[in-house]
Amino acid sequence: MTRRTSSCVLAVAAFVFTIPACTNWSSATVPPAITTIHVVARDWHTDVCIDTRDADTQLMRVAKGYDGSRFLCFGFGDRHYLLSRERGPLTLLSALLPGNDGVILVTILRDKPAAAFGADNAVQLDVDARGIERLRAFLNHAIQIDEQGAPVSLGDGPYPGGLYFGATARYYGFYTCNTWTADALREAGIPIQGPVLFAEGVMRQVRDMAAARHIAPQPPLAPDPSVPPVEAAPATP
């Protein structure tokens, strides 16, 4: 998504601060991982991506007709701003006010998010069984459904493989696409800190977390009882 099509650029017009994270990721307790999720940055916008193998039947309905899809990426935005494609000052101002209908942009991928959006724009995180279950429930609840239980489609997205769906959440200046992404990550057990308005507020934290977990010290190997201990040689005078 380009900056012109990203609804999160709206927040920049009114807010010029973020709250930095203070968590020491290296000391955080890491639950046993069973799968991974991906966080993607696109200019001012962020998405959460899951493997289609971790999606349930309800969630896979958004990818109907896209056989062979491997990942589903979910992002949130202002419905009027994205669907009308109006970029005037009144549209920008109205999007900052409470009560705006939201939209979910689903991007359907046949390759990993890093291949689609660039390795520098994608961060992979481990999640445990409870985390992926809660994230799946969050994403299912995020999409409006009709009387038949089908997702409410709002048409094609801004590029191939992108689809718009009605969102249950409301968009406004203090609840942007990145605030929504932070909520999704918290449901997955990723402890995003503080109110988040901008993409950098999300990406800085997930990059720190991924780096800390990557370099986390490994527990020492248990001694092999079949191997006799080696005595230290005496010091040479």
Compare 96 and 219 and report the one with higher pLDDT. 96
Average confidence score pLDDT of the chain? 81
pLDDT attached to residue 80:
84
Instruction: Give the pLDDT band (50/70/90) at residue 82.
Output: confident
Based on C-alpha coordinates, what's the Rg of the chain?
21
Residue 235 reports pLDDT greater than 50: no
Instruction: Using pLDDT thresholds of 50, 70 and 90, give the confidence band for residue 173.
Output: confident
Residue 192 has pLDDT above 60, yes or no: yes
Please tell me the predicted confidence (pLDDT) of residue 83.
87
Residue 100: DSSP 8-state:
E
Q: How does strand 71-78 pair with strand 153-156?
A: unpaired
- Residue 48: CB atoms within 10 Å: 28
The number of angstroms, rounded, from the C-alpha of 159 to the middle of its chain's C-alpha atoms is 19
Would you say residue 123 has pLDDT above 80?
Answer: yes
pLDDT of residue 30: 53
Average pLDDT, integer, range 111-133: 97
Mean pLDDT for the stretch of residues 11-37: 50
First to last CA, the chain: 69
Structural tokens at position 199: 């993409």
> What pLDDT sits at residue 5?
41
Indicate whether 222 pLDDT > 90.
Answer: no
Number of H-type helices and E-type strands within the chain: 8, 7
Q: Please state, in angstroms and rounded to a whole number, the distance separating the CA atoms of residues 164 and 75.
A: 10
Average pLDDT over residues 206-229: 62
Q: Hey, how many other C-beta atoms are within 10 angstroms of the C-beta on 212?
A: 16
- Minimum mean pLDDT among 42-46, 110-114, 178-182, 215-219: which range? 215-219
Distance CA 77, CA 236 (A): 71
Residues with Cβ within 8 Å of residue 227, at least 6 apart in sequence: none
